[in-house]
Amino acid sequence: MATAHSRAAARLTMSPAVILLLGWMLIPLVMTLYFSFLRYNLLMPGTEEFIGTMNYQYFLTDPAFFAALGNTLALVGGVLVLTIAGGIGLALLLDQPFWGRGIVRLLVIAPFFVMPTVSALVWKNMLMNPVNGLFAAIAKGLGLQPFDFLAEAPLSSIIMIVTWQWLPFATLILLTALQSLDRERLEAAEMDGAGAVDRFIHIILPHLARAMTVVTLIQTIFLLSVFAEILVTTNGGPGTATTNITYLVYAQSLLQFDVGGGSAGGIVAVVLANIVAVFLMRMIGRNLDI
Protein backbone atom coordinates (compact mmCIF):
# COMPACT_ATOMS: atom_id res chain seq x y z
CA MET A 1 0.00 0.00 0.00
CA ALA A 2 3.04 2.22 0.38
CA THR A 3 3.22 4.67 -2.47
CA ALA A 4 6.36 6.15 -3.99
CA HIS A 5 5.44 9.35 -2.24
CA SER A 6 5.27 7.79 1.21
CA ARG A 7 8.46 5.82 0.57
CA ALA A 8 10.34 9.00 -0.12
CA ALA A 9 8.83 10.56 3.00
CA ALA A 10 9.88 7.50 4.98
CA ARG A 11 13.46 7.79 3.87
CA LEU A 12 13.43 11.45 4.74
CA THR A 13 12.05 10.89 8.25
CA MET A 14 14.61 8.20 8.90
CA SER A 15 17.62 10.22 7.82
CA PRO A 16 18.24 12.38 10.91
CA ALA A 17 18.47 9.36 13.19
CA VAL A 18 20.66 7.47 10.72
CA ILE A 19 22.98 10.41 10.06
CA LEU A 20 23.38 11.20 13.76
CA LEU A 21 24.19 7.63 14.70
CA LEU A 22 26.49 7.22 11.74
CA GLY A 23 28.37 10.33 12.79
CA TRP A 24 28.46 9.22 16.41
CA MET A 25 29.79 5.81 15.56
CA LEU A 26 32.02 6.31 12.55
CA ILE A 27 33.83 9.58 13.20
CA PRO A 28 35.12 8.80 16.71
CA LEU A 29 35.83 5.18 15.84
CA VAL A 30 37.92 6.14 12.83
CA MET A 31 39.71 8.70 15.00
CA THR A 32 40.44 6.09 17.65
CA LEU A 33 41.75 3.75 14.98
CA TYR A 34 43.96 6.51 13.59
CA PHE A 35 45.31 7.52 17.03
CA SER A 36 46.11 3.91 17.80
CA PHE A 37 48.85 3.97 15.16
CA LEU A 38 50.43 7.16 16.48
CA ARG A 39 52.82 8.02 19.21
CA TYR A 40 50.57 10.61 20.80
CA ASN A 41 50.81 11.88 24.36
CA LEU A 42 48.81 14.87 25.56
CA LEU A 43 51.71 15.95 27.77
CA MET A 44 54.05 16.15 24.76
CA PRO A 45 52.09 18.03 22.09
CA GLY A 46 53.65 18.29 18.68
CA THR A 47 55.57 15.01 18.90
CA GLU A 48 52.91 12.88 17.19
CA GLU A 49 54.32 10.43 14.68
CA PHE A 50 53.24 7.27 12.93
CA ILE A 51 54.61 4.22 14.70
CA GLY A 52 52.67 1.37 13.08
CA THR A 53 51.44 -1.32 15.43
CA MET A 54 53.77 -0.42 18.28
CA ASN A 55 50.90 0.67 20.54
CA TYR A 56 49.17 -2.66 20.02
CA GLN A 57 52.35 -4.61 20.67
CA TYR A 58 52.89 -2.61 23.80
CA PHE A 59 49.30 -2.85 25.03
CA LEU A 60 48.87 -6.55 24.27
CA THR A 61 52.12 -7.57 25.98
CA ASP A 62 51.59 -5.37 29.05
CA PRO A 63 51.08 -7.54 32.16
CA ALA A 64 48.34 -5.08 33.16
CA PHE A 65 46.44 -6.10 30.02
CA PHE A 66 46.40 -9.76 31.00
CA ALA A 67 45.37 -8.86 34.51
CA ALA A 68 42.61 -6.64 33.14
CA LEU A 69 41.46 -9.31 30.70
CA GLY A 70 41.31 -11.86 33.51
CA ASN A 71 39.45 -9.45 35.78
CA THR A 72 37.00 -8.55 33.01
CA LEU A 73 36.24 -12.24 32.39
CA ALA A 74 35.89 -12.94 36.11
CA LEU A 75 33.62 -9.94 36.60
CA VAL A 76 31.39 -10.71 33.61
CA GLY A 77 31.34 -14.47 34.28
CA GLY A 78 30.83 -14.14 38.02
CA VAL A 79 27.99 -11.66 37.74
CA LEU A 80 26.33 -13.67 34.97
CA VAL A 81 26.36 -16.93 36.95
CA LEU A 82 25.12 -15.26 40.14
CA THR A 83 22.39 -13.17 38.51
CA ILE A 84 21.05 -15.99 36.36
CA ALA A 85 21.04 -18.56 39.16
CA GLY A 86 19.60 -16.02 41.60
CA GLY A 87 17.21 -14.70 38.97
CA ILE A 88 15.76 -18.16 38.29
CA GLY A 89 15.30 -18.75 42.02
CA LEU A 90 13.64 -15.37 42.51
CA ALA A 91 11.46 -15.77 39.43
CA LEU A 92 10.20 -19.15 40.67
CA LEU A 93 9.52 -17.59 44.07
CA LEU A 94 7.73 -14.50 42.76
CA ASP A 95 5.68 -16.64 40.39
CA GLN A 96 3.96 -18.34 43.35
CA PRO A 97 0.80 -16.85 44.80
CA PHE A 98 1.45 -15.13 48.15
CA TRP A 99 0.30 -12.12 50.12
CA GLY A 100 1.84 -8.81 49.07
CA ARG A 101 3.28 -10.08 45.79
CA GLY A 102 3.17 -6.67 44.14
CA ILE A 103 5.10 -5.03 46.96
CA VAL A 104 7.78 -7.73 47.13
CA ARG A 105 8.20 -7.41 43.38
CA LEU A 106 8.84 -3.68 43.80
CA LEU A 107 11.39 -4.35 46.56
CA VAL A 108 13.24 -6.86 44.42
CA ILE A 109 13.55 -4.69 41.31
CA ALA A 110 14.50 -1.53 43.24
CA PRO A 111 18.33 -1.92 43.07
CA PHE A 112 18.20 -1.62 39.28
CA PHE A 113 17.17 2.03 39.59
CA VAL A 114 19.96 3.04 41.94
CA MET A 115 22.68 4.95 40.10
CA PRO A 116 26.02 3.05 39.95
CA THR A 117 27.98 5.60 41.97
CA VAL A 118 25.42 5.53 44.78
CA SER A 119 25.23 1.76 45.01
CA ALA A 120 29.01 1.40 44.93
CA LEU A 121 29.56 4.02 47.65
CA VAL A 122 26.76 2.73 49.85
CA TRP A 123 28.15 -0.81 49.68
CA LYS A 124 31.72 0.35 50.15
CA ASN A 125 31.13 2.60 53.13
CA MET A 126 27.96 1.68 54.89
CA LEU A 127 27.98 -2.08 54.43
CA MET A 128 31.50 -3.32 53.69
CA ASN A 129 33.64 -0.86 55.65
CA PRO A 130 35.68 -2.92 58.19
CA VAL A 131 35.29 -0.33 60.95
CA ASN A 132 31.96 1.42 60.57
CA GLY A 133 30.13 -0.83 58.13
CA LEU A 134 27.05 -2.85 58.94
CA PHE A 135 28.68 -6.17 58.03
CA ALA A 136 31.49 -5.42 60.49
CA ALA A 137 28.91 -4.65 63.20
CA ILE A 138 27.15 -7.94 62.51
CA ALA A 139 30.46 -9.83 62.59
CA LYS A 140 31.38 -8.20 65.90
CA GLY A 141 27.93 -9.00 67.27
CA LEU A 142 28.53 -12.66 66.43
CA GLY A 143 31.99 -12.52 68.00
CA LEU A 144 33.80 -12.74 64.66
CA GLN A 145 36.64 -10.68 63.26
CA PRO A 146 35.36 -8.01 60.80
CA PHE A 147 36.42 -8.70 57.23
CA ASP A 148 37.93 -5.93 55.10
CA PHE A 149 36.04 -6.79 51.90
CA LEU A 150 37.53 -4.32 49.42
CA ALA A 151 41.11 -4.79 50.66
CA GLU A 152 41.17 -8.56 50.99
CA ALA A 153 38.74 -9.70 48.32
CA PRO A 154 38.44 -6.64 46.08
CA LEU A 155 37.28 -8.30 42.89
CA SER A 156 34.75 -10.54 44.66
CA SER A 157 33.41 -7.49 46.47
CA ILE A 158 32.88 -5.65 43.21
CA ILE A 159 31.26 -8.75 41.72
CA MET A 160 28.89 -8.71 44.70
CA ILE A 161 28.00 -5.04 44.24
CA VAL A 162 27.42 -5.41 40.51
CA THR A 163 25.40 -8.60 41.07
CA TRP A 164 23.12 -6.69 43.43
CA GLN A 165 22.57 -4.10 40.69
CA TRP A 166 21.82 -6.60 37.93
CA LEU A 167 19.88 -9.28 39.83
CA PRO A 168 16.60 -7.33 39.36
CA PHE A 169 17.07 -7.22 35.59
CA ALA A 170 17.65 -10.97 35.33
CA THR A 171 14.75 -11.66 37.67
CA LEU A 172 12.34 -9.45 35.78
CA ILE A 173 13.16 -10.96 32.37
CA LEU A 174 13.07 -14.55 33.67
CA LEU A 175 9.83 -13.88 35.54
CA THR A 176 8.24 -12.45 32.40
CA ALA A 177 9.31 -15.56 30.48
CA LEU A 178 8.13 -17.87 33.25
CA GLN A 179 4.69 -16.32 33.25
CA SER A 180 4.23 -17.20 29.59
CA LEU A 181 4.70 -20.91 30.40
CA ASP A 182 1.68 -23.04 29.66
CA ARG A 183 0.37 -24.09 33.09
CA GLU A 184 -1.45 -27.08 31.66
CA ARG A 185 1.80 -28.68 30.63
CA LEU A 186 3.05 -28.46 34.22
CA GLU A 187 -0.17 -29.89 35.58
CA ALA A 188 -0.15 -32.69 33.02
CA ALA A 189 3.44 -33.54 33.95
CA GLU A 190 2.48 -33.56 37.61
CA MET A 191 -0.40 -35.94 36.94
CA ASP A 192 2.00 -38.21 35.09
CA GLY A 193 3.99 -38.39 38.28
CA ALA A 194 6.87 -36.02 37.44
CA GLY A 195 8.39 -34.59 40.62
CA ALA A 196 9.24 -30.95 41.19
CA VAL A 197 12.86 -31.48 40.12
CA ASP A 198 11.86 -33.29 36.93
CA ARG A 199 9.39 -30.59 36.05
CA PHE A 200 12.07 -27.94 36.63
CA ILE A 201 14.68 -29.68 34.49
CA HIS A 202 12.49 -30.91 31.67
CA ILE A 203 9.84 -28.21 31.35
CA ILE A 204 10.77 -24.98 33.12
CA LEU A 205 14.47 -24.74 32.24
CA PRO A 206 13.99 -25.40 28.50
CA HIS A 207 11.20 -22.83 28.48
CA LEU A 208 13.53 -20.28 30.10
CA ALA A 209 16.43 -21.00 27.74
CA ARG A 210 15.61 -18.12 25.41
CA ALA A 211 15.24 -15.61 28.22
CA MET A 212 18.48 -16.84 29.78
CA THR A 213 20.29 -16.28 26.50
CA VAL A 214 18.86 -12.76 26.23
CA VAL A 215 19.90 -11.97 29.82
CA THR A 216 23.38 -13.35 29.20
CA LEU A 217 23.98 -11.38 26.04
CA ILE A 218 22.54 -8.05 27.18
CA GLN A 219 24.22 -8.17 30.56
CA THR A 220 27.53 -9.07 28.93
CA ILE A 221 27.38 -5.93 26.80
CA PHE A 222 26.84 -3.77 29.88
CA LEU A 223 29.18 -5.72 32.18
CA LEU A 224 32.11 -5.41 29.77
CA SER A 225 31.85 -1.66 30.39
CA VAL A 226 31.56 -1.59 34.19
CA PHE A 227 33.35 1.60 35.19
CA ALA A 228 31.79 3.81 37.87
CA GLU A 229 31.68 1.01 40.44
CA ILE A 230 35.44 0.49 40.10
CA LEU A 231 36.28 4.19 39.97
CA VAL A 232 34.60 5.05 43.27
CA THR A 233 35.49 1.92 45.25
CA THR A 234 39.03 0.80 44.42
CA ASN A 235 40.36 2.90 41.54
CA GLY A 236 41.30 -0.37 39.90
CA GLY A 237 43.48 -1.48 42.78
CA PRO A 238 45.07 -2.67 44.90
CA GLY A 239 47.66 -2.94 42.12
CA THR A 240 45.63 -4.11 39.16
CA ALA A 241 43.40 -6.41 41.22
CA THR A 242 40.16 -4.75 40.08
CA THR A 243 41.24 -3.12 36.81
CA ASN A 244 39.06 -4.27 33.93
CA ILE A 245 39.66 -3.43 30.27
CA THR A 246 37.40 -0.38 30.42
CA TYR A 247 39.18 1.00 33.46
CA LEU A 248 42.61 0.22 31.98
CA VAL A 249 41.86 2.20 28.83
CA TYR A 250 40.49 5.06 30.92
CA ALA A 251 43.59 5.11 33.12
CA GLN A 252 45.97 4.95 30.18
CA SER A 253 44.30 7.72 28.21
CA LEU A 254 42.88 10.16 30.77
CA LEU A 255 45.22 9.58 33.72
CA GLN A 256 48.49 8.96 31.87
CA PHE A 257 47.51 11.02 28.81
CA ASP A 258 48.79 8.29 26.49
CA VAL A 259 46.31 8.78 23.66
CA GLY A 260 48.04 6.33 21.32
CA GLY A 261 48.20 3.47 23.81
CA GLY A 262 44.71 4.17 25.15
CA SER A 263 43.32 4.14 21.62
CA ALA A 264 44.90 0.77 20.89
CA GLY A 265 43.26 -0.49 24.09
CA GLY A 266 39.94 1.00 23.00
CA ILE A 267 40.10 -0.84 19.69
CA VAL A 268 40.88 -4.09 21.52
CA ALA A 269 37.80 -3.49 23.71
CA VAL A 270 35.67 -2.91 20.61
CA VAL A 271 36.85 -6.18 19.08
CA LEU A 272 36.09 -8.10 22.29
CA ALA A 273 32.60 -6.59 22.56
CA ASN A 274 31.92 -7.38 18.90
CA ILE A 275 32.46 -11.07 19.51
CA VAL A 276 29.53 -10.97 21.95
CA ALA A 277 27.50 -8.56 19.86
CA VAL A 278 27.49 -10.85 16.83
CA PHE A 279 25.66 -13.53 18.82
CA LEU A 280 23.22 -11.07 20.37
CA MET A 281 22.38 -9.47 17.04
CA ARG A 282 21.79 -12.82 15.38
CA MET A 283 19.42 -13.77 18.18
CA ILE A 284 17.42 -10.53 18.13
CA GLY A 285 17.38 -10.51 14.33
CA ARG A 286 15.82 -13.95 14.24
CA ASN A 287 12.83 -12.70 16.24
CA LEU A 288 12.40 -9.62 14.11
CA ASP A 289 9.83 -10.39 11.45
CA ILE A 290 9.38 -7.48 9.09
Partner 1 sequence: MARAATNRHKLVVTLIAWTVGIVIFFPILWTALTSFKTEAEAVATPPTFLAFHWTLENYSEVQQRSDYFLHFWNSVVISVGSTLLGLLVAVPAAWSMAFVPGKRTRDVLMWMLSTKMLPPVGVLIPIYLLFRDFGLLDSRVGLVIVLTLINLPIIVWMLFTYFREIPGEILEASRMDGAGLRDEILFVLLPMAVPGIASTLLLNIILAWNEAFWTLNLSASQSAPLTAFIASYSSPEGLFYAKLSAASTMAVAPILVLGWFSQKQLVRGLTFGAVK
For partner 1, the binding residues in 37-66 under the rule CB under 8 A are none
**Which of 47, 53, 140, 195 touches partner 1 (CB under 8 A)?**
140
Amino acid at 183: R
**Distance between CA 82 and CA 87 in Å, rounded?**
8
Does residue 41 sit in helix, strand or coil? strand
Residue 290 lies near partner 1 (rule: CB under 8 A): yes
Residue 101 lies near partner 1 (rule: CB under 8 A): yes
**Which of 103, 191, 196, 197 touches partner 1 (CB under 8 A)?**
103
Q: How far is CA 85 from the centre of its chain?
A: 16
Residue 269 lies near partner 1 (rule: CB under 8 A): yes
Is residue 164 within 8 Å of residue 190, measured between CB atoms? no
Is residue 111 within 8 Å of residue 119, measured between CB atoms? yes
Residue 172 lies near partner 1 (rule: CB under 8 A): yes
Strands, E assignment, the chain: 38-39, 49-50
**Which of 157, 164, 203, 243 touches partner 1 (CB under 8 A)?**
164
**Which of 35, 37, 56, 166 touches partner 1 (CB under 8 A)?**
35
Residue 137 lies near partner 1 (rule: CB under 8 A): yes
Residue 214 lies near partner 1 (rule: CB under 8 A): yes
Residue 191 lies near partner 1 (rule: CB under 8 A): no
In sequence order, what are the residues at sequence separation of 6 or more whose Cβ sits closer than 8 angstroms to the Cβ of residue 174?
84, 87, 88, 90, 91, 208, 211, 212, 215
**Which of 221, 238, 239, 256 touches partner 1 (CB under 8 A)?**
221
